[in-house]
Amino acid sequence: AQKITQTQPGMFVQEKEAVTLDCTYDTSDQSYGLFWYKQPSSGEMIFLIYQGSYDEQNATEGRYSLNFQKARKSANLVISASQLGDSAMYFCAMREGPSWSSASKIIFGSGTRLSIRP
């Protein structure tokens, strides 16, 4: 069965510093996808970044990058130059199976609460 683990319940980081949020996963599938979502205090879920299991390069989206280490089954989110607006819950998620499969579903980790200090 697929599983996502986020071991950091909460983190405090100084503004403008870089921060790494940890995520490990467990799957027996060769084809899968990994996501990061941000949930601010307002409650909405905001998609940040995606990495496919066959992608050879780490995904990047602006200040967000995904440090994908397939052999270690880790998909850490790196936020460069953190800002006060980055304070939120961050969820790692995984889709097991290829994207075109009707059986694919996405499961989420328990989240990391990131707080940025001014």
Provide the binding-site residues for another protein, judged by CB under 8 A.
4, 6, 33, 35, 43-45, 47, 50, 52, 91, 93, 95, 99-111
**Strands 64-69 and 60-61, sheet pairing:** antiparallel
Query: Shortest gap between Cβ of 89 and another protein (angstroms)?
Result: 9
DSSP letters along 18-77, please?
-EEE--EEE-S-SSEEEEEEEE-TT---EEEEEEETT--SPPEETTEEEEEETTTTEEEE
CB of 67 or CB of 104, closer to another protein: 104
Query: Shortest gap between Cβ of 20 and another protein (angstroms)?
Result: 19
The distance of Cα 21 from the centroid of its chain, to the nearest Å, equals: 7
The vertex-35 CA angle with 88 and 69, nearest 5°, equals: 110
CB of 62 or CB of 118, closer to another protein: 62
The separation between the first and the last C-alpha atoms of the chain, rounded to the nearest angstrom, is: 41
Query: Shortest gap between Cβ of 44 and another protein (angstroms)?
Result: 6
Query: Shortest gap between Cβ of 31 and another protein (angstroms)?
Result: 11
CB of 57 or CB of 118, closer to another protein: 57
CB of 56 or CB of 100, closer to another protein: 100
